[in-house]
Chain A
Amino acid sequence: MEGNRHQARGNSAHHSHGDEKFIWKYVFSTDHKMIAKQYLFTGLFMALVGAFTAYLMRWQLAYPNTAAPGWGVVTADKFNMLVTMHGTIMVFFVGMPVLVAALSNFVIPLQIGARDMVFPRLNMLSYWVFVASVVCLLASFFVPAGASACGWTGYPPLSASQEYTGIFWGVVLWILALALEFASFTMGGINYLATFMCARAKGLTYSRVPLATWFLVGASLAFFFSVGPLIAGAIMLLLDNVAGTGFYLPQKGGEPLLWQHLFWFFGHPEVYVVFLPGLAAVLEIIPVFSRKPIFGYRTMVWSMAVALALSYVVWAHHMFISGMDPRLAMPFSITTILISVPFAIIIFCMLASLRGGSIRLATPMLWAVGFLVTFLIGGLTGIFLGSAASNIYFHGTYFVVAHFHYTFFPAVFFGGFAAIHFWFPKMFGRMYSERLGKIHFWLTFVFFNCTFWPIFQIGSGGMIRRIADPSQYRILDQFKTLNVFVTISAFILIAGQIVFVINFFWSIFRGPAAEANPFRANTLEWSAASPPPHGNFTAAPVVYRGPYEYSLPDRAEDFVPQNEPPLAQAEGTA
């Protein structure tokens, strides 16, 4: 009842949308589906920028001090800038908008049977604040001295005073872009959470909410509870730069380690902010394409809750050798290694969901399995870094680079592409091309591994992160060929995305029309039309059962939509 009241309020903000002008429908839209698309397109555009930075860095690492086609020689100052911007863009301007914002916006209201977000105007504001943040970040490339070159983690004193880098405006705009982004995602997150709590369809109890919605809400919760300290930290960093304070400058009585604590107190939960939505999509796809209930629904939700709780007490594992008291290493090593327990449960439950299934490897399922296969490597190699003793050697090497690309890339791109293909028919009302989808998957899967697997070897051989010129290091001469191999693989990986772009845009305009439920799935979004009209559902849906009732033994059909009335009741009303 309460839910319906809020829904009505939410919807009153934008009555009859049919005869709207272009600007209200496509630009300043309050429709959650349009805002999801806006976030998606902005994020995909930023992915191109991020890929370009990767191209330049990989060129320099394979062919040091030669001119990269389309740019020129990547000098040390530019390399530091590229390293910084690549990390910032891929985490905050691709991972966050595509996974957190686009997915939450599109999936949560549809899966819970709501007509829209409960705060549609706040939702629009959140997107436009994000646009301002993107503008800030992109503008920083063009200010004097260029964009920030302090690393995406922005450790002071390097980032706290221009005397160390010669960069002022670039750093200020970098901090400002992050601040705007945090404001945007706080607004978005409040909206997802309020919608989740207040606008669920009748009968959709917490124990019937699809896992995708649970994990997306979990991601926003992880973000809220960790971002506060970093906002405070960012303000101090800004003041150090513009007002001459010395929060992080030891010569003025400050403490550089303070930033690292604040940054990683946010930074570790942030890993899950990006990871959980990728997982959310995969958890939704696996039961649909193996025609089997997800294994251990409640166990998954509780494991996520435990993992989130633990994610707030592991941050110092990024700081084992930072100069903090070495006696802190073991407690943080233990919490870090403990966090593998809830994730092990989630992963093994996913594997158990395949057992006894009837698996069809359509494009979304390929991406979901690709996520499992690659993320597993990221998770396992994390043990080397979570153990304080082995961290002494691996910290700051390319081993770390390989490790976090094996966690972020599966989450953002494998999870993201899984989600994009799975919800593509619902989002655009047309089907994507299976054939192009599969070509794109195999290109990405093969060349992702060719790019990042050798980096583990290069890292264990002693190559450190963020060096602009490996030819300066005798110890790295042995990796010359391998670095060229990695670079060529990375180029093919990037070029392979053209297949996706073709498939994506061709299918949006020319793909065959999609039916409402092309994958024969149970959750509520598939009971709406494809694409759903404004307001999503013709009649408020009522939910009668859990989301994963696939292949029930006593039914001919292998699925039962959540909103299908039970048999006895259907007969009674007929």
Chain B
Amino acid sequence: MLKNLPQSVSTFSGDIDGILYFIYAIVGFFFVATEGYIVYSLVRYRRKDGVKARYETGETWREMRWIIGIVIVVTVLDFVIDSKGAGVWAKVKENFPEGDVRIKVVAQQFSWTFVYPGADGQFDTRDDLTVPRVLHVPIHSKIRLILTSKDVIHSFFLPEVRLKQDILPGRQINAWFEATRTGTFNLFCSELCGLGHTKMLGSLEVQEPADYERWLAETTKEQLE
């Protein structure tokens, strides 16, 4: 079920996959055990002439002891899953590192635009760099994203990075990631946003720092001209 996960290219994508596999192991066990028990019961207790069913109401603690035991195990596993997950959630969504690179993402029906603050490090100044469709980032840098929408709700989804965050119009929502592999990766809008939702595609370009600086310089030059 999980063998088709896309490649994992960020510092937290492995943590998220770890949670996925951990849950997979637990529910996989319960799946096999429970489905197996159902099939076993249907065969073992099928109707036979002259054999009467057992009268058993399950109203006493003694009769319930198996179920109570399993339910305690289920409850404990629930808390283990949540406490393992809590750390990962906090890493991805709560404890933002101070970003090395800050990029503003502007979503609108049906396109992505990325705004780089330029040399002064400030947004909404004259030297802002506006790049359509492709998000360029340097590898091994903490990327701070400021997500905004001009119209409806969109969702910023980088499958290989394992990052997804809805973007609400009228707000600035923060997100971050750090890429660990260079290459071109996918960017989808994963919230139905209207007629062109399917075609609201972008891409993530993770580059070596030198390549990224060269791209940044060239693009800046182009836009100033």
> Interface of A with B (CB < 8 Å)?
76-77, 79-80, 83, 149-151, 155, 157-158, 164-166, 250-251, 255-257, 290-299, 321-323, 326-327, 329-330, 333-334, 337-338, 340-341, 344-345, 347-349, 351-361, 369, 372-373, 376-377, 380-381, 383-384, 387-390, 392-393, 395-397, 456-458, 460-462, 464-469, 472-475, 478-479, 548, 550-553, 558
Residue of A nearest to B81 (CB): A387
A466, B45: Cβ atoms under 8 Å? Answer: no
A337/B82 contact (C-beta < 8 A), A80-B194, A472-B201, A550-B53 known: yes
Q: Give me the 10 closest cross-chain CB pairs, A-B, nearest first.
A: A250-B170, A356-B54, A461-B4, A295-B58, A296-B58, A389-B85, A389-B88, A462-B159, A380-B27, A354-B41
Given contacts A165-B194, A353-B58, A388-B89, 20 further A-B contacts (CB under 8 A): A76-B196, A157-B151, A158-B192, A293-B57, A295-B56, A297-B58, A321-B165, A323-B166, A323-B168, A351-B34, A352-B66, A354-B41, A355-B56, A356-B54, A358-B51, A369-B42, A395-B164, A396-B191, A458-B4, A558-B53
A344, B70: Cβ atoms under 8 Å? Answer: yes
* Nearest chain B CB to A440 CB, angstrom units: 19
A383, B170: Cβ atoms under 8 Å? Answer: no
B134 interfacial by beta-carbon distance below 8 Å? no
B residues in contact with A326, CB < 8 Å: 89, 93-94
B residues in contact with A355, CB < 8 Å: 41, 45, 54, 56
Alpha-carbon separation in the docked complex, A44 to B30 (Å) = 34
The residue that A299 contacts in the complex, of B19, B35, B38, B58, with Cβ under 8 A, is B58
B residues in contact with A297, CB < 8 Å: 57-59
B195, A340: Cβ atoms under 8 Å? Answer: no
> Interface of B with A (CB < 8 Å)?
1-6, 15-16, 19-20, 23-24, 26-27, 30-31, 34-35, 37-38, 41-42, 45-48, 51-59, 63-64, 66-67, 70-71, 74-75, 78-79, 81-82, 84-86, 88-89, 92-94, 109, 151-153, 155, 157, 159, 162-171, 173, 186, 188, 190-199, 201
- Total of A-B residue pairs, C-beta within 8 Å: 290
B residues in contact with A392, CB < 8 Å: 16, 89, 92-93, 162-164
Alpha-carbon separation in the docked complex, A377 to B31 (Å) = 7
A329, B93: Cβ atoms under 8 Å? Answer: yes
A393/B16 contact (C-beta < 8 A), A321-B164, A321-B166, A387-B85 known: yes
Alpha-carbon separation in the docked complex, A460 to B8 (Å) = 13
The residue that B31 contacts in the complex, of A79, A356, A380, A395, with Cβ under 8 A, is A380
A462, B31: Cβ atoms under 8 Å? Answer: no
The residue that B71 contacts in the complex, of A329, A348, A389, A393, with Cβ under 8 A, is A348
A298, B74: Cβ atoms under 8 Å? Answer: no
The residue that A393 contacts in the complex, of B63, B109, B164, with Cβ under 8 A, is B164
B167, A323: Cβ atoms under 8 Å? Answer: yes
B residues in contact with A323, CB < 8 Å: 165-168, 171, 173
Alpha-carbon separation in the docked complex, A478 to B82 (Å) = 33
Alpha-carbon separation in the docked complex, A478 to B45 (Å) = 44
Q: List 19 A-B contacts (CB under 8 A).
A: A80-B195, A83-B192, A158-B192, A251-B169, A293-B56, A295-B57, A297-B58, A329-B89, A330-B82, A334-B82, A352-B66, A356-B56, A357-B41, A377-B31, A380-B27, A460-B5, A462-B5, A467-B198, A475-B159
A322, B166: Cβ atoms under 8 Å? Answer: yes
A residues in contact with B34, CB < 8 Å: 347, 351, 376
Alpha-carbon separation in the docked complex, A551 to B26 (Å) = 37
B38, A351: Cβ atoms under 8 Å? Answer: yes
* Nearest chain A CB to B160 CB, angstrom units: 8
B162, A357: Cβ atoms under 8 Å? Answer: no
* Nearest chain B CB to A308 CB, angstrom units: 18
* Nearest chain A CB to B147 CB, angstrom units: 8
A462/B191 contact (C-beta < 8 A), A293-B56, A550-B55, A558-B52 known: no
Alpha-carbon separation in the docked complex, A326 to B89 (Å) = 9
* Nearest chain A CB to B94 CB, angstrom units: 5
- Chain A binding surface SS class: helix
Alpha-carbon separation in the docked complex, A337 to B23 (Å) = 12
The residue that B45 contacts in the complex, of A77, A250, A294, A357, with Cβ under 8 A, is A357
B46, A468: Cβ atoms under 8 Å? Answer: no
B residues in contact with A381, CB < 8 Å: 27
A464/B190 contact (C-beta < 8 A), A164-B151, A322-B166, A383-B81 known: yes
Alpha-carbon separation in the docked complex, A91 to B163 (Å) = 30
Alpha-carbon separation in the docked complex, A276 to B79 (Å) = 26
Alpha-carbon separation in the docked complex, A355 to B81 (Å) = 30
Residue of A nearest to B51 (CB): A358
Alpha-carbon separation in the docked complex, A351 to B170 (Å) = 51
B30, A380: Cβ atoms under 8 Å? Answer: yes
Alpha-carbon separation in the docked complex, A465 to B192 (Å) = 8
* Nearest chain A CB to B81 CB, angstrom units: 6
Residue of B nearest to A356 (CB): B54
A344, B74: Cβ atoms under 8 Å? Answer: yes
B residues in contact with A390, CB < 8 Å: 16, 19-20, 23, 85
The residue that A338 contacts in the complex, of B30, B78, B159, with Cβ under 8 A, is B78
Alpha-carbon separation in the docked complex, A80 to B23 (Å) = 33
* Nearest chain A CB to B155 CB, angstrom units: 6
Alpha-carbon separation in the docked complex, A478 to B5 (Å) = 12
B residues in contact with A80, CB < 8 Å: 192, 194-195, 197
Alpha-carbon separation in the docked complex, A551 to B78 (Å) = 37
* Nearest chain A CB to B99 CB, angstrom units: 17
A residues in contact with B58, CB < 8 Å: 293-297, 299, 349, 352-353
A457, B67: Cβ atoms under 8 Å? Answer: no
A164/B191 contact (C-beta < 8 A), A296-B64, A389-B89 known: no
Alpha-carbon separation in the docked complex, A299 to B47 (Å) = 27
* Nearest chain A CB to B152 CB, angstrom units: 4
B3, A164: Cβ atoms under 8 Å? Answer: no
A residues in contact with B64, CB < 8 Å: 296, 299
Q: Taking each of B5, B89, B92, which has the highest tally of chain A beta carbons within 10 Å of its own beta carbon?
A: B89
A333/B197 contact (C-beta < 8 A), A380-B27, A389-B19 known: no
A464/B157 contact (C-beta < 8 A), A76-B198, A354-B42, A369-B38 known: yes
A residues in contact with B191, CB < 8 Å: 155, 396
A residues in contact with B57, CB < 8 Å: 293, 295-297, 548
B residues in contact with A348, CB < 8 Å: 66-67, 70-71
B residues in contact with A296, CB < 8 Å: 57-59, 63-64, 67
A residues in contact with B166, CB < 8 Å: 321-323
Alpha-carbon separation in the docked complex, A361 to B52 (Å) = 16
B164, A257: Cβ atoms under 8 Å? Answer: no
Residue of A nearest to B46 (CB): A359
Alpha-carbon separation in the docked complex, A389 to B89 (Å) = 5
The residue that A457 contacts in the complex, of B4, B45, B157, with Cβ under 8 A, is B4
Residue of A nearest to B17 (CB): A393
B59, A158: Cβ atoms under 8 Å? Answer: no
A residues in contact with B51, CB < 8 Å: 358
A351, B37: Cβ atoms under 8 Å? Answer: yes
